[in-house]
Structure 1
């Protein structure tokens, strides 16, 4: 079955603004800018005939697509697309971990050492395992037009499945708040239409972010 799949990152949270690590252990909410980003996304895509909305279990994704949910579109929450668990670094400033722990983990993952994890956190292998479960679940769905809202690192990993790449390539995929990826799926696989698109946030729409 052909499918039209839209995947976006949640809107901005206060932790995003302050450059504080969230991960799956901090269930932050959208700040005012994030709410405006969500509104802008809805204004541009409200006419798309979505048959299913899929979010993580974290409320920042729920809030980002709330306007679609409020229309009565069926909604599913899946822990498989929750953000990565960053362990002891969650709740701390990016400045305290970007120079060494994070960079070391990223380097290991890029070199195929997927079992590396930050202290008390999740490994790339574990993240990839739940993304594989999610992709298998997605294949079973009968809906043809699906809206998915997830998180930055989770989406990086997810994109490797959509593009048929190894997990070591996930750094290639950037993720701005409400950045949109779109894929059309046919018998030959997934075809990329949009990548991290934020055209709904341009000044022509009244949202000069």
Structure 2
């Protein structure tokens, strides 16, 4: 996409995409957890969910159309394409928009390592909540299911995201297992980002301490 056309469009869509992500998550949560709600309310939530998806699809289609690069645009922006297809990842738009707003407004920024930890934590909360809802929806009431309540699905999501995987609660449906695979991959990626950032921070601290220490203070120095 041409830079002159890309930047204004993406800036205009930051707030709508964030609102769409939050509305998607809220309407989906109401549909999954609101068992006793009137059918009209559940239908309205379904309409909001579909409208949120349409906003993401429209944004991707417009950026693809303006790029003039054909399938190479999808290859370069594969994560955006996955977000359109997989509802589980749409809440991450909130984290992305927050970072973009911080950069554009030149707000006081945290250090790189603190930003990685903050964004990873926000992503883990949003992904964990969305995955818990999805798992509860597809596993509830299924034969031989081990996830019976929303609390069970939250516990499962926490153990999966942390890569602990106790195995006391496991999905038994094909869709549930697909959700589990996606959450495992996200958990490994988030854990790797935090571990790498922490290791880099420790290396910088130790190197700085070594550079600032007088030569006579090194062990073995005369």
Pairwise same-fold verdict (TM > 0.5): no
TM-score by length of 2: 0.28
Greater strand proportion: 1
TM-score by length of 1: 0.29
